[in-house]
Amino acid sequence: MLVGSQVRRVAVIGGSRIPFARSHGAYARVGNQEMLTAALKAVVDRHGLKGQRLGEVIAGAVIKHSSQWNLVRECVLGCGLAPETPSFDLQRACGTSLEAAILIANKIALGQIDCGIAGGVDTVSDAPIVYSRDYQQLLLASFRGRALGEKIRPWLGLRPRHFKPVLPGVIEPRTGLSMGQSCEAMARNWSIAREEQDALAFESHRRAAAAYAEGFYSDLVIPYQGLETDNNVRPDTSLQKLARLKPSFAADGTLTAGNSTPMTDGASAALLASEEWARARGLPVQAYLSFGKAAAVDFVGAEGLLMAPAYAVPWMLADAGITLANFDFYEIHEAFAAQVLCTLKAWESPQFCRDRLGLPGPLGSIDRGKLNVKGGSVAMGHPFAATGTRIVATLAKLLAERGSGRGLISVCTAGGMGVTAILER
């Protein structure tokens, strides 16, 4: 419900994150709570919020233990904010923290709150290890027993197979395919060559390395667990090195470890507020979050798993009344280099735009020089729920340094969904 007489502009004040790390490495002995608390604390410290009560903190994780049912609340209690700051967990796969930022923005715009923090975290290094449903049912049957015999009888069915753990995987329950296998099919469908994917991956690493060298990330990334930079960035990679890598998801495929995001641990957060709240505290506004949109596709029978942003972006552009060319920066999440290229090719296709989007012609092309200018997920890694606010903070700083402009954010997610947003200054 609207609180007040008008919808308010939503300012992005800034963001912070810990370095993103390849899984089972630097962060092998820490979990979601420790990492997200560190990212939230960095935002609190950077903006002088210690002891203050904010309107809301919304964040989440894709992979978490059942004991982390109130993860974000626990992180808020440990990050330095007033304990009276409300919070809750949100989950929309890889779009989690961008969706959290949009939800915070909606609450600010409607006057329900004046400020809030959005964020996300994920770790594959501390993934929950569970056992088969048969074993679960055996344990529950024993628990339900009233007499001693009823408690013991289920154990007579115990077999060695029950002790084989069921490890989490990035598998779609509806298709049984991994995200990489699904994207491999997309690359075939859209005729995306291996060379194109390697070229985009090379640019991702080159630009990320250059951004670190010039100090762009010095106030966005805080040292954590001995790391000061994302440890997947390869300043010394080359097209020749990338070309030597073998396919990862099909013997005759084009997706490799070099042009796909690695399994990654990390956390990020971003502070959003009304202009009045920021002004009262002397906090400069970096950018404004002005539009957001989500979409989903029928990936089981009609569309590629990661193609939802190809729909969400044009719908959002229609809301904003602008074209694809009206941007100074394009931040498209590189789940796989092929996914980015499939999306760009769809927007350039007269047939796709006519038949799927109902447009009279192609949505258009983008200037590749404006795409992921400080590196993308292929280089920096992708802790599923943390990528959205990593991008929000990066884009807000880019716009603040430029002094004006507009940036597009596009994030594909598991489950055939996509989350998109526009930042302006």
**Does the annotation count 75 as an active-site position?**
no
**In the beta sheet, which residues pair with residue 329?**
407
**φ, ψ dihedrals at 40, nearest 5°:** -65, -45
Single out the catalytic residue among 75, 79, 94, 342: 94
65 is catalytic: no
Q: Please state, in angstroms and rounded to a whole number, the distance separating the CA atoms of residues 415 and 173.
A: 9
Classify residue 191 as exposed, middle or buried by CB count within 10 Å of its CB (0-12, 13-18, 19+): exposed
Q: Please, are residues 193 and 334 in contact by the beta-carbon 8 Å criterion? A: no
**Torsion over CA of 391, 211, 403 and 411, rounded to 10 degrees?**
-20
Asked if 395 and 14 touch (Cβ cutoff 8 Å), the reply is: no
Token couple for 160: 């060695």
94 is catalytic: yes
Q: Give the chain's largest Cα–Cα span.
A: 75
Closest Cα partner for 383 from 42, 31, 15?
A: 31
For the chain, the residue count is: 425
CA proximity to 291, closest of 406, 416, 413: 406
The string of DSSP letters for 163-177 reads GSEE----B-TTT--
Catalytic residues: 94, 382, 412
